[in-house]
Structure 1
Amino acid sequence: GKNNELRNNTTVDIRLDDAPEQLKDLRRSYTVNIAYQHMNDGDLAVEKNDMVKAMAEYNAAMQLFPNNLEMQFWTAITLANNKEVDKAIPLLKKIFNEDKNWKELARRLPAVNLLTVSEADLKRILSL
């Protein structure tokens, strides 16, 4: 589609001057860049209320960068905000167990309208 055409024609500035394994680091850096492009495309889909496309983009990002807690976290928050708290809970539990800072961030999100769940669902999330 159009997004793939844009990716294929995009220049990515990656500096690897000090990298001991430059080709390996180039591949990793490029993969991270593509993963974040998928996350951005997912965010744009959320803005257009296209949750099917958003989740497809988020899942593509997580497949490219499976250990990235940030990508997992925002995917879970998107699920929760779209009335799919039951799907978000297992992701959030895993994330919170790996790094408690994400739980603190989740606690702060309602104040800035980035987590828009009911009080009951917020308690469920923060009790993980």
Structure 2
Amino acid sequence: MKFLDIGTVSEQTGLPSSTLRYYEEIGLIESVGRNGLRRQYEPRVLTQLSLIALGKSAGFSLEDIARMFGPEGQPDLPRDELHARADALDQQIKHMTALSNALRHVADCPAPSHMECQTFKRMVRIAGKRNPARKT
């Protein structure tokens, strides 16, 4: 089997070598040895790193992602956690879409000032309820 050195893995994934060493340190990936000073990896590490990137983009922590790999680095994905994360993303998308629509309305509002725009005033009221002033 042909192994990939850390430089090749870094080049193919766009991840710095320091990140690869960190992922190895915390057990997300595993090298199979060294060629001189350069760590060597099996080609499957590329798939593992793609799954790690996907998990991170979905909002999973590295600790969460580490639990999603079974023996020999094979994915062992917890479907219930994936459903819960997808539901949370759907809620976030709905919130962000509503915010985007409101901002576009305010940007295009024909009212002489923003404080005369009912939509803007409603946004300010809602934002104030979601983010109450912190007590010090």
Q: Same fold (TM over 0.5)?
A: no
The structure in which a higher percent of residues are strand is 2
> Structure 2 length normalisation: TM-score?
0.30
